[in-house]
Amino acid sequence: MITARDGVYFELHSFPFCYCSIAIYFGSLPSFLYSLSTPLTTLDLTMDNKSAFWLYPFSISFTRAKHIGFVQSVVVLTLASALIVSPISSVSSFQLSAFGPSRKEVNILLKVIFCLKMEVNKEKYAADLSSIKEAHARISSFIHKTPVMTSESLDAISGRRLFFKCECFQKGGAFKFRGACNAIFSLDDQQAAKGVVTHSSGNHAAALALAAKLRGITAYVVIPKNAPECKVQNVLRYGGQIIWSEAPVQSREEIATKVLQETGAAFIHPYDDGRIISGQGTISLELLEQAPLIDTIIVPISGGGLMSGVALAAKSINPAIRILAAEPKGANDAAQSKAAGRIVTLPETNTVADGLRAFLGELTWPVVRDLVDDIITVDDMEIIDAMRLCYEILKVAVEPSGAIGLAAVLSDSFRSNPAWKDCNRIGIILSGGNLDLEVLWASFRK
Amino acid sequence: MDNKLAFWLYPFSISFTRAKHIGFVQSTVEGSKYPPQSYILGLKMEVNKEKYAADLSSIKEAHARISSFIHKTPVMTSESLDAISGRRLFFKCECFQKGGAFKFRGACNAIFSLDDQQAAKGVVTHSSGNHAAALALAAKLRGITAYVVIPKNAPQCKVQNVLRYGGQIVWSEAPVQSREEIATKVLQETGAAFIHPYDDGRIISGQGTVSLELLEQAPQIDTIIVPISGGGLMSGVALAAKSINPAIRILAAEPKGANDAAQSKAAGRIVTLPETNTVADGLRAFLGELTWPVVRDLVDDIIIVDDTEIIDAMRLCYEILKVAVEPSGAIGLAAVLSDSFRSNPAWKDCNRIGIILSGGNLDLEVLWDSFRK
């Protein structure tokens, strides 16, 4: 059977077809404009490239939708199917595959589709490629441009080519410094003079303290009593003002509010903030410049700040890239949220990955809902095994939350899932390395 | 003597570097403790070219030969460690090298220098550590056999590395004699080429490529601190660095419980110890015939640190740099933070210091056990 790839003859003939289809798609603009006037439901469309191409009129209208009426849905579906059927009705399926667009053209069209989606939805996401590029310009003189490392041993174990973005080498020992820097250096002088306040049991606390120190302002950090010692030490080392609270989130929030009222300091949320998301997104800019060949990025997910920033930047640069999240079984709220179609919170979390216990926020949830292709859930044992590989093969000291991306790549659910069998060049973000190693140092003392 | 005096004594210094034994008149003016002027060194090097087992051109050749196989490891900095040490530090992370240590560079250069006939018979070595795994991996890349004689008390993780890279392990007892005997036996039986862990021009040249990269990645450094054991890394780094920048200072870091190199420098000849006692298991070897002259002539000083300082430095590497080094790998940082370095006026102008984190192969079982309970 002759396919579109056999011979220049078929390739040449694909061009006029493409231009015709562009004309038809833009001709579907009336349908699209109509859809703008009334909201429509979202359809969960997991599409491959070819069908995405054909369903273009649908996808534009549906991304804006939340609820639709029955009549409107019938009208739009009829219009759209008419537009699709007309170009192919005169052409047999054989000729169709021969005259279909090449992959490059599909990619270009996908980019057009994606840009239009993003255009339409610009006010919906808390950040975008331009805010992320702005953030990069703002923070690049303060941050480390962390290396991307590879390991043939880990490639052999995983059966893929892996590219590790080592954010554990970032200042403060985790990626959080990027978002904190962007937030702090975005403040106007008047607001900055009053300082900043946050509540965090972990890396955001130290990152904010360090960024505040660089700007010469005060950072008030509300830390729960059960926070890991090393993370508390980091906050002290960077000059943060610690205010202790009880463990539950309510207590932290109450005390943070009190500090805010007393000092007038600006509250900087650990993840649900456009400036924070934009800062974290700069990781994608660097990663895709350092390893432009990757086809997938796997990101640890907690509140979704890193996830959102990385997904927004990466999909804007390369819409065909796959974005996967890695989450602990004992804190699988993001997976449950994706399944339920709304934010799900858990009564309690139970995982060794202490940095991944937060829940999605109002700003991070839409990006996770729309741009994350799947969430891979792993248990604590897999996380520790992956951490061990990082130490013993990569020689990188990650914390459990930081190693979860590798755990996801090595997990059965990822390996056996046919949807990801073409993920061959995978970027993995090693998000942080702050961990109490006292048991190791004690062993040297005896 | 300082630089000015050295300039005037130039004619004397040329002859004296070649000297092993000197007469009374000459000895009164021998100055072996001052950093040499650039053109003096150039002439010294010219005169002594046949004396050192490697030079800048063999090191550049080695780099061309091995660069497609090795990782070009990053140089990392930390403002926290700069603040603690009072200097600007540049960490060359050779723990990220293939096999987890810098040894892979020398092993690669040696293996890919063999002609096909010799290579077909394989290679053999004795090593308790990183050289074993490095040789096994380099041999695997060339498709030849590596026979590795390992003493029974070698760290488990280093044995695992050899197995992972397909090396053929031949067990021996702990003492060096036993290892050497068994290695000789294997050599006779197989005709394999013996590749010494450090006392070999090809190994020294391979290790010297670390300097080429470091000085390209951080050209502003004025000092390099290198862990010293048999002197292979030390020699290669010193030869390359001083050829590129003769004013650079080269310092060695050595454990107190294995301070043979410091004793050798003081005595003017190779000193070996009846036993060694240090947590830095990679630094227990003694200087060789090829490495000793370079250490004697091109290493400006040796800084001794004890095991507690080594572990404290290791802790800083894990907790601040997030780099998993072994004790031998952290000794350079221990040296920079030691009292003897901080208080020594000779090194008060060492402000931009390159530190080589030489390796990261270490049994971490106690850490993994803690997660299981």
Rounded to two decimals, the ipTM of the complex is 0.84
Helix, coil or strand: residue A356: helix
Between A382 and B21, name the one with better pLDDT.
A382
Q: How confident is the model at residue B123 (pLDDT cuts 50, 70, 90)?
A: very high
Q: Residue B39: pLDDT above 80?
A: no
| The pLDDT of residue A249 | 74
Kindly tell me the burial class for residue B23, based on how many C-beta atoms sit within 10 Å of its own C-beta (0-12, 13-18, 19 or more): exposed
| The pLDDT of residue B5 | 58
Mutate to test the interface with A, among B319, B323, B366, B372 (most CBs of A within 10 A): B319
Q: How confident is the model at residue A94 (pLDDT cuts 50, 70, 90)?
A: very low
Q: B97 to chain A: nearest residue by CA?
A: A394
Q: Is B98 in Cβ contact with A443 (below 8 Å)? A: no
CA atoms within 13 Å, Cβ hemisphere of A345:
9
Q: How confident is the model at residue A22 (pLDDT cuts 50, 70, 90)?
A: low
Q: How confident is the model at residue B30 (pLDDT cuts 50, 70, 90)?
A: very low
| Region at A395 (left for phi over 0; alpha for psi -120 to 50; beta for the rest) | left
| The pLDDT of residue A253 | 87
Asked if A342 reaches chain B (Cβ–Cβ under 8 Å), the answer is no
- Set out the domains of chain A in order of their start, with CATH numbers: 2-120 (no CATH), 129-174+274-440 (3.40.50.1100), 176-267 (3.40.50.1100)
The identity of residue B147, as a single letter, is Y
| The pLDDT of residue A74 | 56
| B310, B345 contact by CB (below 8 A) | no
Q: How confident is the model at residue A45 (pLDDT cuts 50, 70, 90)?
A: very low
| The pLDDT of residue B55 | 96
pLDDT digits (tens, 9 = 90+) for A410-442: 999 999 999 999 999 999 999 999 999 999 999
Chain A nearest-CA distance from B39, in A, is 38
Residue B137 CA: distances (Å) to CA of B130, B144, B174, B361: 11, 10, 23, 15
Q: Residue B33: pLDDT above 50?
A: no
Q: Please tell me the distance from the alpha carbon of residue B369 to that of residue A382, in angstroms, as a whole number.
A: 15
Q: How confident is the model at residue A34 (pLDDT cuts 50, 70, 90)?
A: low
Q: What percent of chain B has pLDDT over 70?
A: 86
Q: Please tell me the distance from the alpha carbon of residue B132 to that of residue A325, in angstroms, as a whole number.
A: 39
Of B74, B318, B360, the CB nearest to A437: B318
| The pLDDT of residue B127 | 84
Structure tokens at A140: 């690049």
| The pLDDT of residue B36 | 46
Q: Residue A4: pLDDT above 80?
A: no
Q: Please tell me the distance from the alpha carbon of residue A36 to that of residue A32, in angstroms, as a whole number.
A: 6
| The pLDDT of residue A44 | 37
Q: Residue B367: pLDDT above 80?
A: yes
Which chain B positions have a beta carbon within 8 Å of A392's beta carbon? 157, 324, 364
DSSP A55: T
* Average pLDDT for B126-144: 92
| The pLDDT of residue A30 | 63
| The pLDDT of residue A8 | 35
CB pairs under 8 A between A and B: 65
| A376, A307 contact by CB (below 8 A) | no
- Sheet with A219-224, side-by-side order of all strands: A241-245, A219-224, A196-199, A266-267
| The pLDDT of residue A174 | 96
Helix, coil or strand: residue B179: helix
Cite the beta strand spans of A271-413 per DSSP E: 296-300, 322-328, 374-378
Residue A29 CA: distances (Å) to CA of A32, A62, A264, A328: 5, 14, 49, 43
Asked if B141 reaches chain A (Cβ–Cβ under 8 Å), the answer is no
Pick from B286, B278, B325: nearest CA to B304: B278
Pick from B143, B128, B134, B147: nearest CA to B190: B147
Between A16 and B313, name the one with better pLDDT.
B313
Structure tokens at A372: 């994350």
* Average pLDDT for B54-78: 97
| A161, A291 contact by CB (below 8 A) | no
| The pLDDT of residue B306 | 97
Give 3-state DSSP helix, strand, coil % of chain B, rounded to 5. Answer: 55, 15, 35
| The pLDDT of residue B156 | 84
Q: How confident is the model at residue A251 (pLDDT cuts 50, 70, 90)?
A: confident
The residues in B 49-88 lying below 8 A from A, measured between CB atoms, are 71, 74, 76-77, 79-80
Residue B227 CA: distances (Å) to CA of B77, B97, B238, B357: 19, 16, 12, 8
Q: Residue A227: pLDDT above 90?
A: no
Query: Residue A426, Cα to own-chain centre: how many angstroms?
Result: 14
DSSP secondary structure, B233-294, as one string: HHHHHHHHHHHH-TT-EEEEEEEGGG-HHHHHHHHTS----S----S-GGG-----TTHHHH
Q: Is A395 in Cβ contact with B322 (below 8 Å)? A: no
The pTM (predicted TM-score) of the whole model is 0.80
Residue found by looking up tokens 């914390």 in the block: A399
Pick from A38, A37, A58, A34: nearest CA to A47: A58
Q: Please tell me the distance from the alpha carbon of residue B20 to that of residue B34, in angstroms, as a whole number.
A: 18
| The pLDDT of residue A311 | 98
* Average pLDDT for A151-166: 97
Chain A nearest-CA distance from B235, in A, is 25
Of A171, A173, A388, the CB nearest to B368: A388
Q: How confident is the model at residue B23 (pLDDT cuts 50, 70, 90)?
A: very low
Asked if A15 reaches chain B (Cβ–Cβ under 8 Å), the answer is no
pLDDT digits (tens, 9 = 90+) for B327-336: 999 999 999 9
* Average pLDDT for B167-196: 91
* Contacts of residue A402, Cβ cutoff 8 Å, sequence gap at least 6: A167, A168, A174, A300, A355, A387, A390, A430, A431, A432, A433
Q: How confident is the model at residue A123 (pLDDT cuts 50, 70, 90)?
A: low
Q: How many residues does chain A have?
A: 446
Pick from A76, A2, A4, A3: nearest CA to A38: A76
Mean pLDDT of chain A: 83
pLDDT digits (tens, 9 = 90+) for B236-293: 999 999 999 999 999 999 999 999 999 999 999 999 999 999 999 899 899 999 999 9
Asked if A391 reaches chain B (Cβ–Cβ under 8 Å), the answer is yes
Of A398, A433, A440, the CB nearest to B364: A440
Pick from A45, A19, A28: nearest CA to A84: A28
pLDDT digits (tens, 9 = 90+) for A363-374: 999 999 999 999
Most confident of B11-15, B50-54, B316-320: B316-320
Between B8 and B75, name the one with better pLDDT.
B75
Pick from B335, B242, B227: nearest CA to B284: B227
Active site residues of A: 176, 201
Q: Is B96 in Cβ contact with A230 (below 8 Å)? A: no
| A431, A167 contact by CB (below 8 A) | yes
For the beta carbon of residue B6, count every other beta carbon within 10 angstroms: 17
Residue found by looking up tokens 């659910």 in the block: A413
Pick from A280, A282, A310: nearest CA to A296: A310
| The pLDDT of residue A364 | 97
Which chain B positions have a beta carbon within 8 Å of A169's beta carbon? 76, 321-322
| The pLDDT of residue A16 | 53
Chain B nearest-CA distance from A395, in A, is 5
Structure tokens at B291: 């490495």
| The pLDDT of residue B303 | 98
Q: How confident is the model at residue B10 (pLDDT cuts 50, 70, 90)?
A: low
Which chain B positions have a beta carbon within 8 Å of A149's beta carbon? 71, 96
Structure tokens at A369: 């809902």
| Region at A185 (left for phi over 0; alpha for psi -120 to 50; beta for the rest) | alpha
Lowest mean pLDDT among A161-165, B21-25, B87-91, B349-353: B21-25
With helix as H, strand as E and coil as C, how does A249-275 read? HHHHHHHHHHHHHHHCCEECCCCCCHH
Between A224 and A112, name the one with better pLDDT.
A224
| The pLDDT of residue A305 | 97
Q: Residue A93: pLDDT above 50?
A: no
Q: Residue A182: pLDDT above 90?
A: yes
Q: Is A171 in Cβ contact with B364 (below 8 Å)? A: no
List b or e across A22-52, with b for residues whose CB sees 16 or more CB atoms inside 10 angstroms.
eeebeebeebbeebeeeebebeeeeeeeeeb
Lowest mean pLDDT among A64-68, A187-191, B291-295, B362-366: A64-68
Q: A231 to chain B: nearest residue by CA?
A: B319
Q: What percent of chain A has pLDDT over 70?
A: 72
Q: A147 to chain B: nearest residue by CA?
A: B74
Asked if B360 reaches chain A (Cβ–Cβ under 8 Å), the answer is yes
pLDDT digits (tens, 9 = 90+) for B283-325: 989 999 999 999 999 999 999 999 999 999 999 999 999 999 9
Mean pLDDT of chain B: 89
Mutate to test the interface with A, among B72, B164, B322 (most CBs of A within 10 A): B322
Q: Residue A108: pLDDT above 80?
A: no
Kindly tell me the burial class for residue B206, based on how many C-beta atoms sit within 10 Å of its own C-beta (0-12, 13-18, 19 or more): buried
* Contacts of residue A369, Cβ cutoff 8 Å, sequence gap at least 6: A337, A338, A341
Q: Residue B2: pLDDT above 60?
A: no
| The pLDDT of residue A248 | 77
Q: Residue A304: pLDDT above 60?
A: yes
Q: Residue A193: pLDDT above 50?
A: yes
DSSP secondary structure, A175-234, as one string: THHHHHHHHHHHS-HHHHHT-EEEE-SSHHHHHHHHHHHHHT--EEEEEETTS-HHHHHH
Mutate to test the interface with B, among A388, A395, A440, A444 (most CBs of B within 10 A): A395
Which chain B positions have a beta carbon within 8 Å of A236's beta carbon? none
| The pLDDT of residue A445 | 84
